[in-house]
Chain A
Amino acid sequence: MGVEIVGPGRTTLVDAPRPLRPIRVAVIGLGKMGVAHTAVLATVPDVELVGLSDHHAPLGRSVRGLGHSAPFFDNPVKLIDRTKPEAVFICTQPDAHRSLAETALEAGAAVFVEKPLAQNLAEAEALAATVARHGKPAACGYNLAFVPIFAAAQHALRTGVLGNVQQARASMYLSQTFGPRKGWMYDPARSGGGVVTNVSSHLLFLLRWMVGMPVEVRATGSRFFGQVEDEVHVMMRLESGAEVGFESSWSVSGYPYSAVVIEFEGLNGKMLVSNDGLELDLALAQGDWPAGHSELREADLPQPARFDVNGESYYLQDAAFLHWATGGAEPPNTVAAALEVQRVIDAIYRSAGDNGATIVVKP
């Protein structure tokens, strides 16, 4: 290689995880995310795709038409019963997550549930309780934890490079909704909400992972086109007293792909992290980071995924979950972590529904 990339002092994402032994895996829900996971899983070593399921049979034909030869079932219960998977990826709309996860866990499988964990907090808590009862590995699809630049930022924050964070500002934008739209994502009973649930829950996961859980939130939201919120402004307070502001919209132009920006101010300096890279300004050298201004781009970091499906993160996320499911280390995006994100989402919706009142996040 022409140029050296940075070493493990600046990131934890150095090598591609993999299952510790061969594992039988099934996928339920063959929409966009189900197809992406199927493609990734077909390329992870030691994975045997034993079955695919969707209630809509043509989607099954489409995935088999891509060359994936695993048996298809239009009934997920039959899939689990007949193929005996050791891990099940649940990629349906959120209101189906809980019952499918319970079925898979009852059958002894580890479960991966696409984000958000469920369409509301009660369902998410019930799902997490079932996971706890069975003691099986269970993860949720907050894949930004596996984007190298965000993993490097989290590593710097968690190793104290910035010192105690005093405040943070964050945003997540996507150009997606510019008029009334159809589909489960725009039906609050099925999806649980709008831009917060479907898009910026990813950002809430990142913030929780990087600086910890908020203890209270104040939020306002706007609905432009339908029954779910299209834009949100939130202030959150951490236990340390630090304030974290974030805003998100899926109704702004110029963001064909979702874009995250987070700025942190700590005792030792400032950090700006986005999909483009990481910039750090430190008063004094900290760990592997020198005093003054430093920059990291994606290309400066290891890119350990072995197959690219829309970037590094899907491969790394799925392989890390299967590593856990076969006895390896726990990844950051556990169901327990996703439940905490759901508690923040719930507090945001309650605050927005009460004209921005301060709401305590359920501990």
Chain B
Amino acid sequence: MKRTPPVTPKLLLGAESLLGFTRAPRERLLQVVARFREPESLAVTFSKAIQLGADGVLASPSRVLGDALSELRHTVPVYALLPNVPEYVRDSAEHGLAGTAMKRVARAGLGARARLAWTGLTRAGGVLRSDFAALVPLLLELESAPFRPAEMRGVVLAAPITDLALSGKHRTFFETIVRFVRHRFRAAAAFQTHNLGHLLSAFAEWGVRPDFVVGPVNPRGLMMKPTPASVEAELARTEIPVLAKELRAGGAVPLVDGARYALEHGAKGLVPDLVDVEDLAVEFKELNRALNPTAATE
């Protein structure tokens, strides 16, 4: 079956902060976590974001997310940020990486286990060699199990994993993940990174073309590696759509200013996180205006 290329999202509401991973001030993080402790509240926010023009949410599997998605009467497009790295790191400190994986296998349903077995069998050689390119598809199978196929529009590999493979200059890994995600999930294949300049440069050299990349872009240069200037240069020359995150530079600039800066410097889309948004209705209207300047003037 010929694959229809997925449409690149332009505006995603990020929920990474619910895992505790954010550069926003701790006080703000606690406010957000408290506000969205109840799945109903998260469900309403997701629903509102979609009504206000978001193309979906970027979120990792978690209990609160699962409960929120099942609260909704209609499907919210999900771009799954996989794996849930903080949970994985916490578990692996006690059980080791293999033990952590086995724990997830044990709690997976029958269907997920069957898919896992098939994915493992088709990559047996690489799995036995502990090749990341063979192991990560297994991890994606396990971690994507909580999402319904109808809601999953893309798989975004989380930055800690992307950046480990980037440090090893593992070209085959990136090629494999793009192929695997498109074929297995019929969804967009994307990478989140905290080393955007390095990743775009490597993709240009290797000819790797994911559907999009998510990385930090903001007027303070926070987390723009190797340097803000080189990230801007790579943004200018890349053909891969980049969705900008860390727009507020840890709370140092207003969301709309961060968004304008990112778009002016070559980002094709935006991923404001829950911690970045003070007033969803007002700010998403502004973000849409920044994303579609011609529509706004008509």
Task: Using CB atoms and an 8 Å cutoff, list the residues of chain A in contact with chain B.
Answer: 1-3, 5, 32, 35, 38-40, 42-43, 58, 61-62, 64-68, 176, 181-183, 185, 254, 256-257, 259, 274-277, 297-300, 303, 305-310
Contacts and interface: CB of A to CB of B under 8 A. Distances in A.
Contact of A66 (B167, B218, B227): B167
Nearest to A58: B130
B252 A303 contact: no
Interface residues of B, number: 56
Nearest to A261: B26
A32 B93 contact: yes
Contact of B164 (A35, A58, A176): A35
B245 interface: no
Contacts of B126: 65
B193 to A, nearest CB: 9
Given A3-B220, A276-B25, A297-B250, A256 B20 contact: yes
Contacts of B261: 2
Contact of A310 (B131, B160, B252): B160
Nearest to B218: A299
Contacts of B293: none
Contacts of A309: 163, 167
Interface stretch (B2-10, B149-157, B168-176): B168-176
Interface string B160-189: 100111011110010000000000000000
Contact of B249 (A68, A274, A299, A305): A299
A32 B129 contact: no
Contacts of A297: 250-252
B98 interface: yes
B119 to A, nearest CB: 16
Contacts, number: 123
Contact of B168 (A2, A66, A256, A305): A66
B93 A303 contact: no
Contacts of B30: 254
Contact of A298 (B23, B94, B226): B23
Question: Which of B26, B93, B135, B220 has its CB near the most chain A CB atoms (within 10 A)?
Answer: B220
B130 A256 contact: no
Interface stretch (B42-50, B75-83, B84-92, B102-110): B84-92
B167 A307 contact: yes
Contacts of B229: 1
B132 A66 contact: yes
Interface in B41-61: none
A308 B195 contact: yes
A64 B194 CA distance: 22
A308 B194 contact: yes
B221 to A, nearest CB: 6
14 contacts: A2-B219, A3-B253, A42-B169, A61-B130, A62-B132, A65-B133, A66-B168, A182-B94, A254-B30, A256-B20, A298-B23, A298-B222, A300-B220, A309-B167
A39 B130 contact: no
Nearest to A56: B96
B168 to A, nearest CB: 3
B228 interface: yes
The 8 A-B residue pairs whose C-beta atoms are closest, nearest first, are A67-B168, A256-B20, A2-B219, A67-B170, A61-B130, A39-B167, A299-B252, A308-B194
A303 B223 contact: yes
B252 A300 contact: yes
B225 interface: yes
B94 A181 contact: yes
B276 to A, nearest CB: 13
Interface string B261-285: 1000000000000000000000000
Contacts of A38: 167
Contacts of B92: 32
A28 to B, nearest CB: 18
Contacts of B250: 297-299
Nearest to B171: A67
B93 A185 contact: yes
Contact of A5 (B220, B226, B253): B220
B62 to A, nearest CB: 12
Nearest to A304: B227
Contacts of A2: 219-220, 261
Interface string B216-247: 00111111111111000000000000000000
Contacts of B97: 62
Contacts of A68: 167-168
A185 B96 CA distance: 13
A65 B223 CA distance: 26
Nearest to A64: B130
Nearest to A274: B26
A136 to B, nearest CB: 27
B21 interface: yes
Given A67-B173, A256-B20, A308-B194, A303 B168 contact: no
A39 B261 CA distance: 30
B32 interface: no
A183 B195 contact: no
A305 B224 CA distance: 10
B222 A257 contact: no
Contacts of B133: 65
Contact of B26 (A40, A275, A298, A307): A275
B225 A308 contact: yes
A62 B130 contact: yes
A38 B168 CA distance: 9
A176 B93 CA distance: 10
